[in-house]
Structure 1
């Protein structure tokens, strides 16, 4: 099939205005539809013309949709009556834009502290600089594990005035760590290694979209929020089927050894070494759908310059802001329930009850007091580290994780890193090592890996010890976790 060729006549026939949107579509769409007939592309474009707002995040149509929105904005400004030749739904959104106006960034950014700046890529710094210029920003900080993401960088912390940024929380709402420490000897990871491998395989489920065939009840599924929001109601069954499962990428459940080093720890666990279970995952399809839906809503309500568009926010005094806040908290509770279900299954299989459990979110927003004022603190890939607050900062498959106690450092907005942080992108990591080389590295470190992709190989991550050195003002270590048997997505 030859290269896609669209003409102005084609586009005008489906409702395109006489505007630069035509030339943008003609030049941009062939890049995304290389072997598709122009008749099919025209059919796909019809809903884009009718409601371009819904396609601002669709990579194929984003440039065309943005041009169409810009055209209609100009038309609305020209019209003294507000009448335009567009659908009622689009007109309502355009009027909302007119009422709210395009948000400008501050000329000057608010000051913020960067921890371990020599370890942070420029892309993450650039994103933090933009976030620090939002008119709603009150305080910000950049953790030493930071790397570039969408909206806020991973490892970015941002406190705002009565507003929540869906992409400041992230797609995997409530992604968290959970650690169970057992009164069982560390040598079990060797003497009962095969048994523990089987326990992990039988009691965990990994992968995007994966669901259990049998649904089990849990209090989180009875949350009244499911009945008060049509979007949440449509996700309730999926949430039920995925409860207790884990995602893909860097999500894991692993057996390892905890070494408690602080005799005065709040866990009341004596100094020593113990068999333990550590898990890392989030709110599955529930959280991802909530994030994507309300990010679109925020971008419609709060139009920002191109470089800041993923930082669109929702005012908590609006209906949409309250909807997202309730949905986000539900997703956080659900993520916690998923971890608890996993740990309950493994505890039952071991025939033991844990001595102690430590857990924390790291993709979330909280109402907190900072500098005497209530703010909304976004921690996108950052660990809460208020005074005496416990948390877990993992390393990699071959590096220890740290059980930490927060120091409540105000300049970090009571936060710390959420891990070692990526040194290589997933593509770079996967292309820089073979399966044979990864197996050799893991064997030399005494690590058993069940599943796992090359993109999660240890060399993809920063040195966790260097990351921890950069945040000694933020946390103190009370124990270490050494991974031994790691279960990840296939």
Structure 2
């Protein structure tokens, strides 16, 4: 009788397959060549180790200050670890590169090319974060911003019934046909979150073209709840594959084999989320145009947080603007690179070079985390910082709560980023959209019930401590 110990002695890795295999072997009395032939069909494939050396990657970035150098050093260490992932064949970082997690996590401003593999952790939860521009001709910028503020939606959750945009039937059908997208929750979010912008660095910006003087509306946001749900499922599936085929790989770099059934469905789901996200921009732009009675002079968009395919190569762009036309089947204009609310948005064109892999930066990036930036501003009130950094523009926060982590000083120096775009031949700047004003979510959590409850609890604790101290002082007298 063959036992599990016999299989282990043959150098086989124990697992769930042992039970069925042993039952079959002993029931059939397999031995010798027949046993070996059967085991060859049953035993798991050998696991895939990390690459012995990191695949080289291109650095399109330079530092002018110690803080910037610290940022680059961390990004470099993270890329060196990531580039040992078995599927990886090429990589690059952009001038806006900054950390996005623990060592080994793809940085913001990073591009990683993998063969026959989709890495959900490399596009992250905000799948297809993107920008769209509409030329509104000679519309009054203030009127555009006022109308847009009434029509847009920032913050958590979606739109209530009666204020929702219609989900196109074609997109809904794709959701229903894909098992990654057809849950009741996903379908509900696809309807409720349409025409919403979320929070963080997402914005609605109104400015004027340097070249023409036309008023431009630019929105920046991603796939909201539907994308976040897809990402969560993708990470779960990728982790299952990682444990089976490459347990040495960092969990955040787990992948779904693109030629597997799961991989084909996930790729299709990504394309559906891309369509939904484009519609998420379009419905807001169309609503603003309708309210203004304006005519579209020009309109274009690009994602900068997505996975792009070229044959068996999958380009994971974590905050990088696609320049090569092969990455965008619906290209209708140049690309859009925002920097911060007080600086012009860059309109760029370009091509693939050896070092850019077909991409340019997606923005300015950060040298400090949000928390680190807030610490650097201790000694000034939020109101003082806001007044100083938004002079000359109409800056608004949707929830009327200033978020200093989204003010211009929270980001890298815009002029330096722009210069590095030129220095590293990443793109050609063909126009600038000079700022009139901008709307962002702001610190909506300031008024969140959980935060109020926490602050009330802390106030009660301090009051109790003060009362006890007062009592002790009276007793001492």
Could you say which TM-score interval applies, normalised by the shorter chain? 0.7 to 0.9
Asked if residue 152 in structure 1 is aligned to residue 87 in structure 2, the reply is no
- Cα distance, 1:478 vs structure 2: 0.8
Asked if residue 474 in structure 1 is aligned to residue 419 in structure 2, the reply is no
Asked if residue 115 in structure 1 is aligned to residue 60 in structure 2, the reply is yes
Structure 1 pair 408–220 and aligned structure 2 pair: CA distance change class (3 A): farther
Match of 2:408 among 449, 458, 470: 458
Bigger shift: 280-289 or 292-301? 292-301
Asked if residue 367 in structure 1 is aligned to residue 309 in structure 2, the reply is yes
Do the aligned partners of 2:323 and 2:360 also contact (CA within 8 Å) in 1? yes
Asked if residue 294 in structure 1 is aligned to residue 243 in structure 2, the reply is no
Match of 2:157 among 196, 201, 209: 209
Paired with 1:399 and 1:459, the residues of 2 have a C-alpha distance of 11
Do the aligned partners of 2:49 and 2:249 also contact (CA within 8 Å) in 1? no
Asked if residue 167 in structure 1 is aligned to residue 87 in structure 2, the reply is no
Do the aligned partners of 2:60 and 2:355 also contact (CA within 8 Å) in 1? no
Match of 1:246 among 177, 180, 197: 197
Structure 1 pair 117–295 and aligned structure 2 pair: CA distance change class (3 A): farther
Larger radius of gyration: 2
What's the counterpart of residue 437 of structure 1? Answer: 384
Structure 1 pair 273–162 and aligned structure 2 pair: CA distance change class (3 A): same
Match of 1:233 among 147, 164, 182: 182
Paired with 1:475 and 1:275, the residues of 2 have a C-alpha distance of 23
Paired with 1:381 and 1:479, the residues of 2 have a C-alpha distance of 21
Paired with 1:420 and 1:479, the residues of 2 have a C-alpha distance of 17
1:59-458 → structure 2 map (5 Å cutoff):
77-78=13-14, 82-83=18-19, 99=44, 102-118=47-63, 119=68, 120-150=71-101, 151-184=105-138, 188-189=140-141, 193=142, 195-214=143-162, 215-219=164-168, 222-234=171-183, 235-260=186-211, 272-303=212-243, 308-368=250-310, 374-386=312-324, 390-433=334-377, 434-451=381-398, 453-458=403-408
Paired with 1:331 and 1:172, the residues of 2 have a C-alpha distance of 10
Q: Deviations over 1:402-444 (max 9, x none)?
A: 0000222232110010000112211122344432123212442
Do the aligned partners of 2:50 and 2:248 also contact (CA within 8 Å) in 1? no
Q: Deviations over 1:329-381 (max 9, x none)?
A: 11111111000111111111221122111210011111126xxxx41111110
C-alpha RMSD of the superposition? 2.5
- Cα distance, 1:284 vs structure 2: 0.5
2:156 is paired with a residue of what secondary structure? Answer: coil
Paired with 1:442 and 1:337, the residues of 2 have a C-alpha distance of 33
- Cα distance, 1:197 vs structure 2: 4.2
Structure 2 stretches of 5 or more lacking a match?
1-11, 21-42, 326-330, 445-477
Paired with 1:281 and 1:450, the residues of 2 have a C-alpha distance of 15
Q: Deviations over 1:268-326 (max 9, x none)?
A: xxxx2221111100001000110011112101211456772201111111111112111
Bigger shift: 103-112 or 457-466? 103-112
- Cα distance, 1:256 vs structure 2: 1.4
- Cα distance, 1:224 vs structure 2: 3.3
- Cα distance, 1:196 vs structure 2: 3.8
Q: Deviations over 1:230-264 (max 9, x none)?
A: 4411211211111111111001112112212xxxx
Paired with 1:183 and 1:328, the residues of 2 have a C-alpha distance of 34
Structure 1 pair 101–362 and aligned structure 2 pair: CA distance change class (3 A): farther
Instruction: Figure out how many residues of one structure are paired with residues of the other and give that number.
Output: 382
What's the counterpart of residue 39 of structure 2? Answer: none
- Cα distance, 1:81 vs structure 2: 6.1
Structure 1 pair 210–219 and aligned structure 2 pair: CA distance change class (3 A): closer
Paired with 2:117 and 2:14, the residues of 1 have a C-alpha distance of 31
TM-score (norm 2): 0.75
Do the aligned partners of 2:204 and 2:218 also contact (CA within 8 Å) in 1? yes
TM-score (norm 1): 0.73
2:355 is paired with a residue of what secondary structure? Answer: helix
Structure 1 stretches of 5 or more lacking a match?
1-75, 85-97, 261-271
Asked if residue 487 in structure 1 is aligned to residue 439 in structure 2, the reply is yes
